[in-house]
Structure formats: structure tokens, C-alpha cells
Amino acid sequence: MTSEVSFTIDTPRGKRSTSVTYRREGTGEPLLLLHGIGHHLQAWDPVFDLLAADRDVIAVDLPGFGASPGLPDGVSYDLATVVPVLGSLCAALGVDRPHVAGNSLGGLLALELGRAGLVRSVTVLSPAGFWTPSERQYAFTVLRTMRRTAKALPLPLIERMSRTAAGRTALTSTIYARPGRRSPQAVVAETLALRDAPGFGRTLAAGRDVVVTDDVPGVPVTVAWGSKDRLLLRRQGVRAKLAVPGARLVRLPGCGHVPMNDDPALVTRVILDGSRPVDGPARRAAQHA
């Protein structure tokens, strides 16, 4: 079951109210889950319960995606704005420096949360930002095509397509290596989430000049990449390791861009390993590395 939390953020026009939809379950250290552009918190459904057995899991609809409204008028969707918004969200939920795991756009945001010192650990699955200009252009073209297709398809056709493995492949094979595993209901919901996301265009525009080259000091980082990622090619994982030399680089065999659906057990293990509690001298050493 999802809930909604309202909180105040700083904007160029002063303090404004916004809200975010989230799902929270489990016990243990807090773990924040951030989805990719055009998706919604249900992207984490294949691993949510597995993670909640060991963590206090909070999956959110990013502002302007899923059931979360867009940011207030005049507020940018760039990293300098969205990262503090996520910090304010954590404060509103009573969470202090959670672990964070993010996929694609969510991975880029997770790394920035790490640089800002707002999280305990960072686990990223095919994070955005480690592209060359041509790779970025390719990814953005694919994303815009997916969005146009979702907008062009009437709901009855989306529902019919989702009932067959071939139809689910046509709708989602860009992001899943095993689209046939996705349920018809999930495929319909995520196609509509992509179609209707008010934050899609402005988020994509804000990413045009984003290239990640900086380290994430003082925070344990895990970078995982699907071997069958068709959107952000796996060679970008090598660049991520070069940019964040202390990161643990993990290969996800047989997984696509959104690997939670393709291999839930493997992704769960990677996230739990990456968010393993660090205490005492080890944590202090990590914070001052």
C-alpha cells in the first residue's frame, strides 16, 4: 500500500509545499529506492519484499513520476534541485542518512546523495551519467521514442498487448532482458506511468549536460550493470569504476536496464551486500576516506 507525505522545499520563489508518494515496509536500517525516468516505484516490486525482510524499505515515486505530482511551477528538475528535495523527503519521513539504491536516473540521484553526505551507502544499477555524447543522444532518442509510443497507443490496445509474451516484449524489451516475466498488470501500469509522467520532459532536458566524473568520497559505493542492458551499454560501468575508483563493480548476467525484474534474487543480494551496516571504526574510516 502506498502513502503520501507533504513537506516544504526551498524554491526561487520562496518556500513551497510539495508531496511524494511512497511505499514503506520492513525493519532494520533504512533503505531508499529510486526508480528511473518514466518509471514508478512499482519497478522495485520484484525485490521489495525480499529487501524488506532485512531493511526498512522506502520506495518512492520521484517528483513528476508515478503518483507523485510534479515540482512546483518554476522549479527545475536538475540535480541541484532534486537532491535537496529527496533530503527533505527523508527528513519528513523521519529517516536520517538512509542507505540508497537507484536504477538509471535513480542511480544518478543516489550518487549525488552520496556526494552530499545524505546517505550511508550507495548502490546503483545502470546509473545514468557515465555516457559519451553519442551514447547519451542514443539513450535520449530511445526514451523519447518509448514515450511517443506509449502516448500513441490507446489503453485497450496496451491491455491486449500485455496479455501475451510477444506483446509484453514489444512494450518493454528495451528495459527488460526477460520481458515475458513481467505481469500483464505491471506492463500496463508502467506504460501508463511513462505516458503520463509530467516530469519526463523537464527531467530529460535537465540531463542534457550531465556527465559524471567525480568520486563519491566517504561512502561505500556499489555499481552493478546488466550484461544485456540495451539502453545504457555495459561499457559505461567501466567508466563508472574509473570515476569512483573505490566502488565495487558487479556484473549482472542476463539482466537488462531494469534488472530487478530479470533476476530478483541477484539484485536483492547485490543491494543487501551494498547496504551492509558499517559501524564503529570502520564507519568513521569510511566517512573520512
Q: Residue 10 — very low, low, confident or very high, per pLDDT cuts 50/70/90? A: confident
**Contact between 270 and 224 (Cβ < 8 Å):** yes
Strands 56-60 vs 221-226: parallel, antiparallel or unpaired: unpaired
Q: Is residue 173 one of the residues assigned to a domain?
A: no
Q: Is residue 193 one of the residues assigned to a domain?
A: no
Overall size of the chain counted in residues: 289
Q: Is residue 250 one of the residues assigned to a domain?
A: yes
Q: Is residue 28 one of the residues assigned to a domain?
A: yes
Does residue 12 surpass a pLDDT of 90?
no
Looking at residue 236, its pLDDT comes to: 97
How many structural domains comprise the chain? 1
The average pLDDT across 74-82 equals 93
Full domain range(s) for residue 66: 3-132+212-287
Cα separations in angstroms, 16 against 8, 13, 134, 177: 5, 8, 37, 41
Looking at residue 47, its pLDDT comes to: 98
Percentage with pLDDT > 70 across the chain: 96
Q: Residue 84 — very low, low, confident or very high, per pLDDT cuts 50/70/90? A: very high
The average pLDDT across 140-149 equals 98
**Contact between 244 and 213 (Cβ < 8 Å):** no
Q: Residue 20 — very low, low, confident or very high, per pLDDT cuts 50/70/90? A: very high
Does residue 282 surpass a pLDDT of 70?
no
Q: Is residue 79 one of the residues assigned to a domain?
A: yes
Strands (E), the chain: 3-11, 14-25, 30-34, 56-60, 99-103, 122-125, 221-226, 248-252
CATH number at residue 30: 3.40.50.1820
The average pLDDT across 106-125 equals 98
What contacts 91, CB < 8 A, 6 or more positions away? 7
Q: Residue 285 — very low, low, confident or very high, per pLDDT cuts 50/70/90? A: very low
What contacts 282, CB < 8 A, 6 or more positions away? none
Q: Is residue 174 one of the residues assigned to a domain?
A: no
| DSSP β-bridge partners for residue 34 | 60, 102
The average pLDDT across 69-90 equals 95
Looking at residue 74, its pLDDT comes to: 86
Query: Could you tell me how far CA 131 lies from the centroid of its own chain?
Result: 17
| pTM reported for the whole predicted model | 0.94
Looking at residue 278, its pLDDT comes to: 63
Higher-pLDDT residue of 203, 12: 203
Does residue 135 surpass a pLDDT of 80?
yes
Does residue 286 surpass a pLDDT of 70?
no
Looking at residue 13, its pLDDT comes to: 75
Q: Is residue 147 one of the residues assigned to a domain?
A: no
The average pLDDT across 207-228 equals 96
Does residue 90 surpass a pLDDT of 80?
yes
Does residue 283 surpass a pLDDT of 80?
no
Looking at residue 197, its pLDDT comes to: 98
Q: Is residue 142 one of the residues assigned to a domain?
A: no
